[in-house]
A and B are shown apart, each in its own frame.
Chain A
Amino acid sequence: MVAITPRSTARKRPAAASRERAPGRRRIQWTGYLYALPALTVLALFLLVPLGQLVQISLFKWDGLSASTWAGISNYTGILEDPALVSSFAHAFVLVLFYSAIPISLALLLAAVTTRTARLRGVSVFRTILFLPQVVATVVIATAWTAVYAPDGVLNGLLEAVGLQQVTRAWLGDFSTALPAVGLIGSWLETGLCLVLFLAGIGQIPRELYEAAKVDGAGAVREFFAVTLPGLRGQIAVALTLTVIAALRTFDLVYVATHGGPGNATSVPAIEVYNRAFNTGQVGSACAIAVVLTLVILALTYGITRLQPEEEDT
């Protein structure tokens, strides 16, 4: 019972397992490292060194200008003690719902519908339009949506036109609607990306599978769960990774649309990092938040990669 078999890594990752099983082999292919050296140097210089500095500064109390003092892990414990910071992480997870869950479900639904048609005319134009939100600068998107959500904006105008006067409000200025309103901008932003990914994925699913499903008498729903969804596992994992990362590190959208307000209703970790590092002279604390955010993102993306089908499956 104690001798637990390591969770099927041997079966799943034969290459890695065999490397571990042969400790006696000491012949390292140095030339291989030589080829990787330029890439490694760039990686170390521009990524690992700053990351190390980030961790280093996070252990100090520093205003960014004068001498710093050793703070140990107090910047990290400080995150837990500050309810505003804890809620900023909570807001980021709410945004995951809007950036990932909604766009992926919506894109899956739309993708499934398109599989019912034999051939789409002008599919590339369609794709370009869907992808447009990804190309436009987020600042522009946030500014445009701020106008939509404004007290006398398009959304309230529409609601008034259909007689829903009592629902109208300052969507980004209302404590109960600000976070969902920002989140929905994210949904709008990411749906196109997901759909383009899924459409490409569906193109790779052999048509015979659909025909076979039809022959077997599968309806639209059955076909979706039996053919489309399993066929898109890889794309869904990619979409999840991209959108979850985008949600957790949201900065520009919130910065332009609400500045984290009203109150702290839409504050997210990235906003707190910026504020502390550049405005309030709490560089150590800012770095600690950044480190925690990085770890959270790494942990989540690691979890998502486990959903991804192994190479040999596809």
Chain B
Amino acid sequence: MSERTWHRRITGAALATACLAAVAACAPGPSAAGGAGAPKTAGPVSTDPAADGKVTLTEWDQNTDPGVNASTEKLNAAFMAKYPNVKIKRVSRAFNDLKTTLKLALSSNNPPDVVQANQGYPDMGAFVKAGLLQPVDRYAQAYGWPSSYPQQLLSLNKFTADGRTWKTGNLYGVSQTGEIVGVYYNKDKLKQLGIAVPTTLSQFETALQQAKAAGDLPISFGNSNKSPAIQLFGVVQALTAGKQEVRNLVFSQGGAKWTDSGPVQTAGTLQDWVKKGYLSPGFDGQSSDQAVAAFAQGKSVFMVDGSWQAAALAEKMDPKSVGFIALAPSGGASPVTQGGEGLAWAITSKSKHADVAAAYINFLVNDNGMKFVAAQGNLPAIVPGAYQPPAGTIYADLLAQWKAVSGQDGLLPYLDYTTPTFYDTLTAALQEMLAGQQSPQKFGETLQNDDSAFQKSR
């Protein structure tokens, strides 16, 4: 090696060290101390937007599905008609787009005033930790949200101010729609097969067996987009493990582990269903949209999915020919299933018109707002007084089941809430487990590893 190259190496190393030092000096993101400035938590509240002069309110939502899109448009128009001094600028994006762009928008200097934030650690938790959302407790008192919302729904939108602990601490928003996952059934098919509507897990399994024996496809299922398996697994796990166990798992309480008998037994049940041909053949190669279409065409007897599919189904088939049921673990017990509420309407820390923003949110979620939501075929988070969907339709079923489940404390959290990376871990592990690539025990271990790593890092 010549002297020249040595010389060059030393210069290179020195340069690299200098760069590294420079890099270490300025870390990405806001400095640890200040954050985005402490969000305002206290102070008098004005509940009359008319008194605030000319205001432009920017809101970001994910209400792109036809039903919620219509109700949001109508409510925005009604709000502007009531308060002519307020102009609402709406930005609407599909869920995934909103998830990825909202982070960037919130950390900008001029964020939207009102945003829909997804519950859980990856989104709302991260926003709160970075000081990007305002606690809305003072508005909640002014508008009476604690009394209009069930405690269970409110707690999903709560975080401690440091963003580290969920479901307790400050309230960061309220939700407009309810969500419930359950079993859709084709009424004509059931009648042909001579099967009564199943109400428990064992009745459901018997129905699946009968449908299969009669040459029908029991459950239409498409999982190429990975998330549908969470719903299927979640419904069966709720009935197998019980509600306390599921809550302990997701919220990391009581020493519950994903390697416990509940999740492992559920995995075994689902592997058994795959073996018996209860699910669409090649489900990992078809999308959930294709599965919904197949069910709507009468190609299967059942479909396990969320209330958000009702509007799409009602477009493709007679709303009176499809039913919805949330199963109970056993006869006589009340139904338990996973579900929750739509994304929370929250106020950003940098909003200059927090009072108007809160009044707007209240306009969306008060009794009148919920009427708009229900009128467009959505499931309202709080059932408005005197609301009755047409009898015998899927909408009537959904509302009845929502009341039964949420009224009897049967609503269980989505499993991907567990950790920030759980969605990825769970969906990949579910595909492997359902394809028989992973044993139920190994499946449980994979999930538990993710959970343990997160608990250690908190």
Whether A associates with B in a native complex is yes
A interface residues (Cβ-Cβ under 8 A, vs B): 53, 55-57, 59-60, 62-70, 84, 146, 149-151, 169-175, 258-264, 275, 278-283
A-B contact pairs, 28 of them (CB 8 A): A56-B23, A56-B26, A59-B24, A60-B29, A62-B27, A62-B29, A63-B126, A63-B130, A66-B130, A69-B27, A70-B24, A146-B224, A146-B287, A150-B290, A151-B280, A151-B285, A170-B285, A172-B285, A174-B435, A175-B435, A258-B224, A261-B428, A262-B431, A263-B431, A263-B435, A278-B100, A279-B424, A280-B122
Interchain CB contact under 8 A, A281 and B224 = no
Chain A residues with CB under 8 A of B246: none
Q: Using a CB–CB distance below 8 Å, which chain B residues touch chain A?
A: 20, 23-24, 26-32, 35, 99-100, 103, 106-107, 122, 126-127, 129-132, 163, 223-226, 280-287, 290, 420-421, 423-424, 427-429, 431-432, 435, 437
A171 to B, closest residue via Cβ: B285
B280 vs chain A, min Cβ distance (A) = 7
In whole angstroms, what is the CA distance A55 to B28 when docked?
Answer: 11
Partner of A173, one of B26, B35, B127, B283: B283
Whether the pair B284, A65 counts as a contact (CB closer than 8 A) is: no
- The reply to whether A65 and B431 form a contact with Cβ atoms under 8 Å apart is no
Query: For residue B131, which residues in chain A have a CB less than 8 angstroms away from its CB?
Result: 66
Number of A-B contacts (CB under 8 A): 132
Within 8 Å by CB of B285, from A62, A68, A150, lies A150
Do the beta carbons of A259 and B226 come within 8 Å of each other?
yes
Q: How far is the CA of A150 from the CA of B280 in the complex (A)?
A: 12
Q: Would you call A261 and B29 a contact (CB within 8 A)? A: no
On whether A64 and B103 interact (CB within 8 A), knowing A151-B285, A281-B122, the answer reads yes
- State which of A70, A151, A173, A278 has its C-beta within 8 Å of the C-beta of B99: A278
**Nearest 5 Cβ contacts at the A-B interface:** A170-B285, A170-B282, A173-B284, A173-B285, A151-B282
Prevailing SS type, chain A contact patch: loop
Cβ contact within 8 Å between B423 and A279 = yes
Given A151-B282, A264-B428, A259 contacting B225 (CB threshold 8 A): yes
Say whether, besides A170-B285, A263-B432, A66 and B28 are in contact (CB < 8 Å). no
State how many angstroms separate the Cβ of B33 from the closest Cβ of chain A. Answer: 8
Once the chains bind, are A279 and B437 in contact (CB under 8 Å)? no
| Interface residue from A67, A149, A262 paired with B432 (Cβ < 8 Å) | A262
Chain A residue contacts of B428, Cβ below 8 A: 84, 260-261, 263-264
The listed residue (A55, A68, A175, A275) touching B27 by CB distance below 8 A is A68
Main SS class of interface, B:
loop
A residues in contact with B26, CB < 8 Å: 56
User: Which residues of B have CB within 8 Å of A60?
Assistant: 27-29
What 7 new A-B contacts, CB under 8 Å, besides A62-B29, A174-B285?
A65-B29, A65-B103, A66-B126, A67-B32, A146-B224, A173-B282, A279-B122
**Docked complex Cα distance between A174 and B290 (Å):** 17
Chain A residue with the shortest CB-CB distance to B284: A173
What is the minimal beta-carbon distance from A31 to any residue of chain B, in angstroms? 27
The answer to whether A170 and B281 touch (CB under 8 A), given A66-B29, A66-B30, A67-B29, is yes
Name which of A59, A263, A278, A283 has the most chain B CB atoms within 10 A of its CB. Answer: A263
Residue pair A281, B282 in contact (C-beta under 8 Å) = no
Known: A262-B284, A280-B424. A57 touches B28 (CB 8 A): yes
Q: Nearest CB to that of B437 among chain A residues?
A: A175
Instruction: Determine if A65 and B126 form an interchain contact, defined as CB atoms under 8 angstroms apart.
Output: yes
Q: Which residues does chain B contribute within 8 Å of A57, judged by CB atoms? A: 28
Query: Nearest Cβ in chain A — how far from B37, in angstroms?
Result: 13
Cα–Cα, bound, A261→B287 (Å): 12
With a cutoff of 8 Å between Cβ atoms, the chain B residues found around residue A169 in the complex are 282, 285
Bound form: Cα–Cα A60–B29 in Å:
10
Q: Which residue of A lies closest to B100 (CB)?
A: A278
Give complex CA distance A253, B100 in Å. 19
Contact A65/B285 with A261-B427, A279-B100, A281-B126 known, Cβ cut-off 8 Å = no
Alpha-carbon distance between A70 and B435 when the two chains are bound, in angstroms = 40
A174 touches B126 (CB 8 A): no
Are A170 and B283 in contact, with the CB atoms below 8 A?
yes
The reply to whether A65 and B282 form a contact with Cβ atoms under 8 Å apart is: no
Question: Smallest CB–CB gap between A165 and chain B, Å?
Answer: 12
With CB as the reference atom, state the residue of chain B lying closest to A20.
Answer: B4
Residues in B whose Cβ lies below 8 Å from that of A149:
285
A281 B281 Cβ-Cβ under 8 A = no
